[in-house]
């Protein structure tokens, strides 16, 4: 008997009208690991069956007064359909045997008098068979239940995964929105700084934006990664922020007439600019480029007299763009851009990184070309209230006190028109907005 099935409760029911047979049976099975119950008639047997669960085997005498063995087994079959049934008889009765098998569902025919060992062995095997069937059924039910649980678990897991995925997607969207707003705020703050600087240094109101645009053009030409280009743009926009602390007398003085002390004081703006931004971690990298935007490629610049590639690349780019924009302000002739580019080329290796100079021409031509003064008959002066989307600016849009809002050449969008109206309401210029005449 197997270890697992021996614990399954099992009872064997013997039915016989002879008391001595029942006593013999009780004695024979007294040490077996299953219970034995006996009944002296079919009627008693049926009652016991109703009261006893786990009946593994029913052994019934065939010839009994009242209900015979076949009739008893037939009824027992409906009460305990799982029990194994056997007939025990002392008479060789073929008809009764066939009936016991067909009607009573008996699986074995035992004869009286019996051989003890054979009977014990037969009963043990029947009990074990019953137990195996029961165990098999229990395990099948367990597997079925576990399968059902597994399916349910799978289904709920899938649901949970879907739910979490959609929650994460929503959170990502929120986060993207927050990031976009942060980036907008950051860029807005940088632009506000640049606008303040423009107010401080009158006459060069486009300088920061021009240097930023040129620097980005050079950086793109070099194929720098987007993040590095953004740092260069920020640093270029703010490169002269340290000038805010320079006294008016010095700021507006012609640089050619600086005394050595004045020159040193003026050039301190690079270090002051870096120091001013140092408190903002996101601007520290840009701050470093600002510190070095007055270094010279030959090592004679300020503040650290760095030379060549020891100067951060972004600072070399900004120095080149800065030099171009300062020089073009003084350029004369038919082709001021070309003349300035030639002058810059002449200073390559001394002031500027010679490897960067070839990347300057394309953005410089594109930007200064677009800003070339329009003929009066090619432009219209329009009130902010009459602006439409798609109109092209023929001049920069500035507020009354000179704060630059939009560059010449910009194609108006609804957003821009709203901004222009706000500018004109807060700080009105003395003229309308200049746009290119169509056709």
Of the two residues 213 and 322, which places its CB atom closer to Fe ion in the complex? 322
- DSSP bridge pairs for 235: none
Q: How far is the CB of 404 from Fe ion (least distance, A)?
A: 15
Of the two residues 74 and 240, which places its CB atom closer to Fe ion in the complex? 240
Of the two residues 295 and 322, which places its CB atom closer to Fe ion in the complex? 322
Of the two residues 240 and 295, which places its CB atom closer to Fe ion in the complex? 240
Of the two residues 85 and 269, which places its CB atom closer to Fe ion in the complex? 269
DSSP 435: E
Taking residues 89 to 108 in sequence order and writing x for each that binds Fe ion by CB under 5 A, - otherwise, the string is --------------------
Of 295, 319, 302, 306, residue with least CA distance to 260: 302
Task: Considering only residues 22 through 81, tell me which ones interact with Fe ion, judged by CB under 5 A.
Answer: none
Task: Count other Cβ atoms within 10 Å, centred on residue 291.
Answer: 26
Of the two residues 99 and 240, which places its CB atom closer to Fe ion in the complex? 240
- Stretches 76-84, 113-121, 247-255, 319-327: which one binds Fe ion (CB under 5 A)? 319-327
Cα separation, 316 vs 23, whole angstroms = 115
Of the two residues 128 and 240, which places its CB atom closer to Fe ion in the complex? 240
CA–centroid distance for 122 within its chain: 68
CA distances from 134 to 8, 41, 129, 138 (A): 8, 28, 9, 6
Of 137, 173, 149, residue with least CA distance to 8: 137
Q: How far is the CB of 397 from Fe ion (least distance, A)?
A: 22
Q: How far is the CB of 208 from Fe ion (least distance, A)?
A: 8
Cα separation, 99 vs 165, whole angstroms = 68
- DSSP bridge pairs for 14: 38, 59
- Stretches 214-222, 280-288, 305-313, 318-326: which one binds Fe ion (CB under 5 A)? 318-326
Total residues found in the chain within this entry: 439
Cα separation, 241 vs 208, whole angstroms = 9
Cα separation, 267 vs 245, whole angstroms = 12
Q: How far is the CB of 325 from Fe ion (least distance, A)?
A: 7
What number of chain residues touch Fe ion (CB under 5 A)?
Answer: 2
Cα separation, 9 vs 83, whole angstroms = 13
Taking residues 375 to 414 in sequence order and writing x for each that binds Fe ion by CB under 5 A, - otherwise, the string is ----------------------------------------
Of the two residues 24 and 275, which places its CB atom closer to Fe ion in the complex? 275
Of 359, 284, 283, residue with least CA distance to 317: 359
Q: How far is the CB of 211 from Fe ion (least distance, A)?
A: 6
Of the two residues 128 and 322, which places its CB atom closer to Fe ion in the complex? 322
Q: How far is the CB of 267 from Fe ion (least distance, A)?
A: 8
Q: DSSP string of 148-214?
A: HHHHHHHHHHHHHHHHHHHHHHHHHHHHHHHHHHHHHHHHHHHHHHHHHHHHHSTT-TTHHHHHHHH
Phi-psi region of 308 (alpha: psi -120 to 50; beta: other; left: phi over 0): left
Taking residues 322 to 341 in sequence order and writing x for each that binds Fe ion by CB under 5 A, - otherwise, the string is x-------------------
C-beta of residue 329 within 8 angstroms of C-beta of residue 206 = no
Q: How far is the CB of 243 from Fe ion (least distance, A)?
A: 7
Task: Considering only residues 155 through 194, tell me which ones interact with Fe ion, judged by CB under 5 A.
Answer: none
- Stretches 95-103, 297-305, 316-324, 419-427: which one binds Fe ion (CB under 5 A)? 316-324
Of 80, 74, 60, 62, residue with least CA distance to 104: 74
Taking residues 231 to 270 in sequence order and writing x for each that binds Fe ion by CB under 5 A, - otherwise, the string is ---------x------------------------------
Q: How far is the CB of 420 from Fe ion (least distance, A)?
A: 27
Of the two residues 61 and 322, which places its CB atom closer to Fe ion in the complex? 322
295 lies in the binding site for Fe ion (CB under 5 A): no
Q: Which residues bind Fe ion (CB under 5 A)?
A: 240, 322
């Amino acid at each position: 008997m197997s270890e697992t099935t021996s614990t399954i409760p099992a009872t064997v029911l013997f039915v016989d009208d002879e008391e001595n047979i029942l006593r013999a049976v009780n004695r024979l099975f007294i040490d077996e690991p299953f219970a034995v119950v006996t009944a002296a008639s079919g009627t008693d047997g049926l009652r016991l069956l109703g009261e006893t669960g786990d009946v593994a085997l029913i052994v019934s005498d065939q010839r009994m007064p009242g209900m015979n063995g076949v009739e008893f087994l037939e009824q027992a079959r409906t009460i305990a359909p799982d029990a194994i049934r056997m007939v025990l008889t002392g008479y060789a009765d073929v008809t009764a045997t066939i009936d016991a098998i067909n009607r009573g569902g008996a699986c074995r025919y035992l004869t009286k008098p019996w051989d003890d060992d054979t009977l014990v062995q037969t009963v043990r095997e029947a009990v074990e068979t019953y137990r195996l069937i029961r165990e098999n059924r229990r395990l099948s039910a367990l597997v079925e239940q576990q399968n059902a649980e597994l399916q349910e678990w799978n289904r709920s897991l899938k649901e949970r995964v879907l739910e979490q995925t959609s929650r994460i997607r929503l959170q990502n969207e929120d986060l993207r929105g927050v990031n976009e707003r942060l980036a907008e705020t950051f860029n807005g703050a940088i632009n506000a700084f640049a606008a303040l600087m423009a107010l401080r240094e009158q006459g060069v109101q486009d300088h920061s934006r021009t240097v930023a645009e040129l620097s980005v053009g050079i950086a793109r030409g070099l194929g720098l990664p987007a993040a590095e280009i953004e740092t260069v743009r920020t640093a270029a926009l703010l490169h002269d922020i340290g000038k805010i602390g320079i006294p008016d007398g010095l700021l507006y003085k012609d640089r050619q007439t600086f005394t050595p002390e004045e020159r040193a004081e003026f050039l301190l703006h690079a270090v002051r600019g870096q120091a001013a931004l140092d408190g903002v971690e996101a601007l520290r990298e840009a701050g470093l480029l600002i510190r070095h935007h007055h270094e010279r490629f030959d090592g004679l610049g300020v503040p650290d007299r760095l030379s060549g590639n020891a100067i951060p690349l972004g600072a070399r780019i900004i120095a080149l763009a800065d030099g171009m924009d300062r020089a073009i302000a003084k350029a004369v002739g038919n082709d001021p851009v070309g003349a300035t580019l030639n002058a810059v080329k002449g200073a390559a290796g001394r002031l500027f990184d010679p490897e960067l100079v070839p990347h300057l021409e394309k953005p410089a031509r594109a930007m200064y070309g677009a800003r070339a003064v329009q003929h009066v008959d090619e432009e219209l002066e329009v009130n902010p209230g009459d602006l439409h989307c798609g109109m092209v600016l023929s001049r920069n849009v500035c507020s009354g006190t000179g704060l630059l809002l939009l560059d010449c050449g910009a194609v108006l969008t609804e957003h821009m028109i709203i901004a222009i109206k706000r500018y004109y309401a807060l700080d009105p210029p003395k003229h309308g907005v200049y746009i290119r005449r169509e056709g």
